[in-house]
């Protein structure tokens, strides 16, 4: 079908672009043509070979939905001083026997050679195409300048806050959102989307919308391991912060919340479990009149079910979204603009973090 | 510390979600619920909306038809329909279970007063149990001759609210054909507005629900580079092709009264022409967009009286083969008159007489049993003003063509000349391609999904307005009358070809050729 090499071709770092052109030379137009496509530059930053392999696999799958020039970096100052690279193509059938391919570049740097990574990456970005920077693992908030240097050309910074070990990581992401032109994106925020949809569906009927102003208590239960790791609380934190931001609650520096009808009790609870650690398991929203709305996950049926007390009880069912890593990345790449709601939520999450950290 | 209570007119929790607007729960009544359209399109589309989380909790669908179904039997039949025709398959059990709870059935004839009373009772019950708050959408998936009877009964039983008053909405969806000619279209519209106000009437032309058709507006008005060239100074001509490889299948009786000109040209094709030709609207709002579209229809040059056929060709397929399979002649199809003179192909050369398009021909063609199924618009630009290169190479420069593929393999391509590498200056045409499947991966929603959702949201931008329909008929009627009076009938073309020879001559006598789509 195609002569495009999908296996790794090791090359000199200085000749990456030239070798990429060689990949495509000789491809003909016509019905059997291979289409070279890219909508994004996606740069993944890793520090270990396991994370490197995970990034390769995830972005290879994601490129089937969002074609992209993928650049995967493995950079670790503790490793042996070296700078190596290789290229390959990610090819996918799109129906009608047609094949779409996009390029993948891998760069491994160790020792003092890691300083060459930012300029090499910058030179490899396709012009006039947005840049998403995916940081795998915990953010090195103690090396903020290193992160900022790498992010200079990034339109979007993708993190996964489930790996954050302290509120300082959250603060760094919030600061990047506030002080730079890079939009923050969080895969954990993506995991929350089904809970946001289910909650929104409760308040879609006009008569329920009025009750947003009478919320008195919000209880969020999340799965946790035995380690009390900060990242395990972030999904609950983001949920509570989102509700608070969108309804117009006021959160003070100590994390106390006040609404139109007085103070609101936000309760974060943990349930020890071996799977879905960090994920929300149950939400309860109580109103001034003593009634309650609840959302639970029905794992067998793959849905979230929302129930509301009241005169008309209509169950709302939200299909669980695919939470595979590549699906979460794709959801981020499908939105070229920054997430204004997340920007609003992050500072509130920082305040509420005092109650769970 | 003062905290402002949130406004209740919009759900603030929807901000930033995939679907920022979700309609208020309503009762959608489908008249003709036992028919093909309900099973193949409407219910599968509604289920797909539910699957994607786009329907409100409590959304209720009531089927109304003659057969004696129970609610459960209706649900079972609709489940089978979704298993076969829904965009998202296999059907998700949990989503279906919840969706099916909102499916009900009322038996009745279209003109039966008792049946409408049973429907009224069911609607009121749903308001109590499902929170639909008196909001109604009536989908008339029935032949046009039933419109008046149904509308009168709904009006008589006070099942239609007045949009001028505060309160729950009532909307009505009408399927094409919107009449058979100008007189019948006017009559249908008169019937509609005796019970409903024009802004309650949603006339479905499913072409407008297609992503690629909507993208015509985005291509033209969201990009700065196209609009400066989108006029007679730079465009030589425009071609629009709506080709189907299938024949009339089971639609013989309908097609015998309609022909391709009424089935495709009067509605889908003229919608495409008006979207290509319209001026920028002042806002992306229903009336602003439709005002501009109707101006294009009003500017269509009348056919020359007594010489209507000079600007148009009609054809009818005869025996042949399509995609390697034998295809029988139209006159041998089931329920078709063996001497029928109905057109299964039509090609027209039309002009939009305004400043933007003066003397730019639009060649439009539609046909059945053509070599493949394709809908395609191509904008052919004027050649470069001075032939700098072809003196050296003796190669004719190709005009630039912007091709917009509506279906299938949706996308846009731009053809231009490029230098062939080498010491001599040789040029060759190359194309820049955008394909939806390549860039966006996901399959676009079905047209009916979008149109049903827009009706629930009350946005009529993607629906035909009364004056659009009537203006289109007023323009086309003289040609249809001339054809009806012409004893010679349509020119025959073998199934599997691109239509009659006269269609090629229609464009070739202007020194142009049909583009192979």
Per residue in B238-247, pLDDT (tens digit) is 999 999 999 9
In chain A, ranges of CATH 3.30.360 domains? 191-355
Please give the CATH topology (third level) of the domain spanning A9-185: Rossmann fold (3.40.50)
β-strand pairing of B27-31 with B136-140: parallel
What is the dihedral angle through the alpha carbons of B301, B305, B311, B317, rounded to the nearest 10 degrees?
A: 120
Tell me: cis bond preceding B90? Omega within 30 of 0 counts.
yes
CB atoms within 10 A of CB A20: 18
**HSE toward the beta carbon, residue A208, CA cutoff 13 A:** 30
Residues in chain A closer than 8 A to B24 (CB atoms)? 204-206
Confidence band (pLDDT; 50, 70, 90) for B468? Answer: very high
Which pair of structure tokens corresponds to residue B205? 């032309």
Do A203 and B11 form a contact (C-beta atoms < 8 A)? yes
In this prediction, what percent of chain B has a pLDDT beyond 90?
66
Contact between residue A310 and residue A291 where contact means Cβ atoms under 8 Å apart: yes
Q: Residue B437 belongs to what H/E stretch?
A: helix B436-440
Q: For residue B402, what are its two tokens?
A: 């912007």
* CA separation for the pair B483, B475 (Å, rounded): 14
Residues B273-291, mean pLDDT to the nearest whole number: 94
End-to-end CA distance of chain B: 66
Distance CA B205, CA B267 (A): 7
Q: How confident is the model at residue B365 (pLDDT cuts 50, 70, 90)?
A: very high
Nearest to B125 by CA among B63, B34, B31, B60: B60
User: Among all residues of B, which ones are annotated catalytic?
Assistant: 268
Cβ proximity of A288 and A261 under 8 Å? yes
pLDDT computed for residue A262 by the predictor:
87
**Confidence tier at B387 by pLDDT (50, 70, 90):** confident
Q: How far is B315 from chain A (nearest CA, A)?
A: 31
Say yes or no for a CB contact (<8 Å) between A213 and B5: yes
Q: Which of A66, A194, A201 to mutate to test the interface with B (most CBs of B within 10 A)?
A: A201
Q: Which of B91, B441, B516 to mutate to test the interface with A (most CBs of A within 10 A)?
A: B441
Give the mutation candidate from B131, B167, B428, B458 for the A interface (greatest A CB count, under 10 A): B131
Name the minimum distance, in Å, from the CA of A334 to any CA of chain B. 8
Query: How far is the C-alpha of B114 from the C-alpha of A293, rounded, in Å?
Result: 40
Q: Do B4 and A260 touch (CB under 8 A)?
A: yes
CA distance B173 to chain A (A): 23
Residues of A in Cβ contact (< 8 Å) with B22 = 200-201, 204
Residues B86 and B44 sit within 8 Å (Cβ to Cβ):
yes
Q: How much is the pLDDT for A33? A: 64
- Are A39 and B8 inside 8 Å of each other by CB? no
Token reading at B60: 């209720």
Do A139 and A42 meet the contact criterion of CB atoms below 8 Å apart?
no
Q: How far is B201 from chain A (nearest CA, A)?
A: 24
In chain A, CATH 3.40.50 sits at 9-185
- Beta strand A303-308 with A215-224: parallel, antiparallel or unpaired? unpaired
CATH number of A191-355: 3.30.360
Pairing of strands B374-381, A303-308: unpaired
- Residue B11 has its nearest CB partner, among A204, A298, A315, at A204
Contact state of B57 with A29 under an 8 Å Cβ cutoff: no
Cβ-defined contact of B5 to A201 (cutoff 8 Å): no
Q: Does residue B185 register a pLDDT over 80?
A: yes
CB contact under 8 A, A213 and B4: no
CA distance B498 to B4: 66
Nearest CB among B8, B51, B439 relative to A209 is that of B8
pLDDT of residue B6: 40
Residue in A281, A258, A193, A188 with CA at minimum distance from that of residue A230: A188
Three-class DSSP category at B404: strand
CB A190 within 8 A of CB A331: yes
What's the mean pLDDT when you consider all of chain B? 90
Nearest to B9, CA basis, from A91, A210, A231: A210
Q: Are A45 and A133 in contact (CB under 8 A)?
A: yes
Torsion region of A97: left, alpha or beta (phi above 0 gives left; psi -120 to 50 gives alpha): left
Q: Determine, for residues A250 and B3 on separate chains, whether the beta-carbon distance falls below 8 Å.
A: yes
Q: For residues A79 and A52, is the Cβ–Cβ distance under 8 A?
A: no
Question: What pLDDT shows up at residue B7?
Answer: 40
Specify the residue for token string 């599968």.
B44
Spatial separation of the C-alpha atoms in residues B410 and B437, rounded to whole Å: 7
Its pTM stands at: 0.85
Query: B35 to chain A, minimum CA–CA distance in Å?
Result: 29
Contact between A34 and A99 under an 8 Å Cβ cutoff? The reply is yes
**pLDDT at res. B5:** 41
Contact (CB, 8 A) for B461 and B286: yes
Write out residues in chain A with pLDDT < 70, as ranges. 1-8, 25-33, 95-97, 141-143, 310-315, 357
Q: Which CATH code is given to the segment(s) B23-175?
A: 3.40.50.720
CA atoms within 13 A on the CB side of B249: 3
pLDDT confidence band for B204 (50 / 70 / 90): very high
Quick one: pLDDT at residue A5?
61
Of B1, B3, B439, the CB nearest to A67: B439
**Per the CB < 8 Å rule, is B6 touching A248?**
yes
- How big is chain A, counted in residues? 357
> What is the predicted pLDDT for the residue at A24?
72
Average the pLDDT over B319-346 and give the result.
Answer: 92
Which strand (E) or helix (H) includes residue A44? strand A40-46
Asked if B57 reaches chain A (Cβ–Cβ under 8 Å), the answer is yes
Strands A131-135 and A156-159, sheet pairing: parallel
Q: Closest partner residue to A203 among B13, B58, B94, by Cβ?
A: B13
Per the document, the length of chain B is: 517
Joined together, the tokens standing for residue A267 give 């309760």
CA distance A325 to chain B (A): 17
Q: To which residue do tokens 């203006």 refer?
A: B471
Torsion of CA A339, A344, A346, A347, to 10 degrees: 150
* Longest Cα–Cα distance in chain B: 85
Which residues, including other chains, have CB under 8 Å from residue B277's CB and lie 6 or more apart? Answer: B296, B299, B352, B356, B357, B362
- Mind spelling out the 3-state secondary structure of A64-131? CCCCEEEEEEEEECCCCCEEEEEEEEEEEECCCCCEEEEEEEEEEEEHHHHHHHHHHHHHHCCCCCCE
CB spacing of A312 vs B95 below 8 angstroms:
no
Reduced to 3 states (helix: H, G, I; strand: E, B; else coil), residue B177 is coil
Q: How far is it, in rounded angstroms, from Cα B507 to Cα B424?
A: 35
**Cβ pair B131:A199 closer than 8 A:** no
By mean pLDDT, which of A315-319, B229-233, B434-438 is the weakest? A315-319
Residues contacting A181, CB < 8 A, separation 6+: A155
Residue B428 contacts residue B438 (beta carbons within 8 Å):
no
Q: Do the strands B27-31 and B60-65 form a parallel or antiparallel pair, or are they unpaired?
A: parallel
CA distance B67 to B227: 53
What's the topology of domain B209-442+482-508?
Answer: Dihydrodipicolinate Reductase; domain 2 (3.30.360)
Contacts of B129 in chain A (CB under 8 A): 312
């Amino acid at each position: 079908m195609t002569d495009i090499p999908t296996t790794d071709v090791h090359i000199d770092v200085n000749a990456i672009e030239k070798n990429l052109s060689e990949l495509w030379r000789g491809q003909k137009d016509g019905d059997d043509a291979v289409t070279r496509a890219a909508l994004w530059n996606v740069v993944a930053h890793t520090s270990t070979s396991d994370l490197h392999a995970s990034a390769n696999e995830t972005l290879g799958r994601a490129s089937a939905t969002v074609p992209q020039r993928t650049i995967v970096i493995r950079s670790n100052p503790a490793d042996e001083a070296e700078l190596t690279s290789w290229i390959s193509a990610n090819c996918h059938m799109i129906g009608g026997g047609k094949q779409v391919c996009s390029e993948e570049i891998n760069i491994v740097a160790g020792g003092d050679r890691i300083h060459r990574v930012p300029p090499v990456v910058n030179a490899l970005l396709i012009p006039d195409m947005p840049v998403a920077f995916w940081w795998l693992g915990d953010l090195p908030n103690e090396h903020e300048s290193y992160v900022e240097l790498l992010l200079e050309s990034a339109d979007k910074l993708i993190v996964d806050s489930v790996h954050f070990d302290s509120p300082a990581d959250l603060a760094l992401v919030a600061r990047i959102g506030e002080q730079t032109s890079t939009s923050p994106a969080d895969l954990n925020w993506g995991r929350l989307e089904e809970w946001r949809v289910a909650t929104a569906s409760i308040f879609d009927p006009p008569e329920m919308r009025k009750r947003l102003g009478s919320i008195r208590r919000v209880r969020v239960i999340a799965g946790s391991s035995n380690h009390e790791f900060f990242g395990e609380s972030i999904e609950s934190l983001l949920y509570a912060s989102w509700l608070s931001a969108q309804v117009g609650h006021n959160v003070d520096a100590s994390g106390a919340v006040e609404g139109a009808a007085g103070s609101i009790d936000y309760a974060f609870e943990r349930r020890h479990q071996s799977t879905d650690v960090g994920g929300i398991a149950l939400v309860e929203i109580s109103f001034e009149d003593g009634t309650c709305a609840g959302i639970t996950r029905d794992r067998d049926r793959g849905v979230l079910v929302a129930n509301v007390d009241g005169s008309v009880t209509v169950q709302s069912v939200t299909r669980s979204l695919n939470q595979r890593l590549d699906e979460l990345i794709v959801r981020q790449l499908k939105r070229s603009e920054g997430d204004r709601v997340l920007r609003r939520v992050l500072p509130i999450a920082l305040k509420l973090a005092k109650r769970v950290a | 510390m003062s905290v402002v209570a949130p406004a209740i007119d919009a759900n603030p929790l929807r901000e930033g979600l995939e679907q920022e607007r979700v309609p208020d729960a309503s009762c959608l009544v489908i008249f003709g619920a036992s028919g093909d359209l309900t099973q193949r399109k409407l219910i599968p589309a509604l289920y797909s909306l539910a699957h994607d989380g786009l329907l409100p909790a409590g959304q209720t669908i009531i089927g109304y038809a003659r057969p004696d179904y129970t609610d459960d039997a209706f649900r079972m039949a609709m489940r089978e329909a979704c298993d076969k025709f829904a965009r998202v398959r296999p059907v998700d059990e949990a989503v279906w279970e919840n969706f099916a709870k909102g499916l009900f059935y009322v038996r009745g004839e279209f003109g039966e007063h008792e049946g409408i009373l049973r429907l009224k009772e069911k609607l009121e019950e749903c308001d109590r149990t499902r929170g639909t708050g008196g909001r109604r959408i009536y989908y008339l998936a029935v032949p046009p001759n039933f419109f008046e009877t149904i509308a009168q009964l709904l009006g008589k039983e006070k099942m239609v609210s007045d949009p001028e008053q505060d309160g729950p909405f009532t909307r009505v969806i009408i399927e094409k054909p919107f009449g058979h000619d100008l007189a019948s279209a006017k009559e249908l519209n008169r019937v509609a507005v005796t019970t409903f106000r024009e802004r309650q009437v949603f006339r479905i032309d499913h072409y407008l629900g297609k992503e690629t058709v909507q993208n015509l507006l985005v291509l033209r008005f969201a990009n700065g580079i196209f609009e400066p060239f989108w006029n007679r100074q730079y465009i030589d001509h425009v071609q629009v092709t709506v080709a189907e490889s299938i024949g009339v299948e089971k639609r013989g009786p309908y097609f015998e009264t309609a022909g391709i000109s009424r089935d495709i040209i009067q509605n889908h094709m003229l919608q495409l022409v008006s979207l290509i030709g319209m001026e920028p609207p002042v806002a992306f709002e229903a009336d602003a967009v439709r005002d501009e579209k109707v101006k294009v229809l009003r500017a269509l040059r009348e056919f020359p009286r007594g010489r209507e056929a000079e600007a148009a060709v009609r054809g009818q397929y005869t025996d042949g083969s399509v995609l390697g399979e034998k295809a029988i002649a139209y006159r041998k199809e089931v329920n078709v008159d063996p001497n029928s003179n109905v057109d299964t192909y039509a090609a027209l050369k039309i002009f939009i007489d305004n400043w933007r398009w003066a003397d730019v021909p639009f060649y439009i063609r539609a046909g059945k049993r053509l070599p493949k199924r394709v809908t395609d618009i191509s904008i052919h630009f004027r050649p470069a003003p001075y032939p700098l290169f072809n003196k050296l190479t003796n190669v004719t420069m190709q005009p630039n063509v912007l091709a917009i593929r509506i279906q299938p393999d949706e996308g846009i391509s731009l053809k231009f000349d490029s230098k062939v590498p080498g010491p001599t200056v040789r040029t060759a045409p190359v194309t820049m391609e955008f394909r939806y499947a390549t860039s966006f991966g996901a399959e676009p929603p079905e047209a009916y999904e979008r149109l049903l959702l827009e009706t629930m949201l009350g946005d009529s931008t993607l629906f035909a307005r009364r004056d659009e329909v009537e203006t289109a008929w007023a323009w086309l009627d003289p040609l249809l009358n001339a054809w009806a009076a012409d004893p010679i009938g349509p020119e025959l073309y073998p199934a599997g070809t691109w239509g009659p020879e006269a269609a090629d001559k229609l464009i070739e006598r202007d020194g142009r050729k049909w583009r192979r789509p």
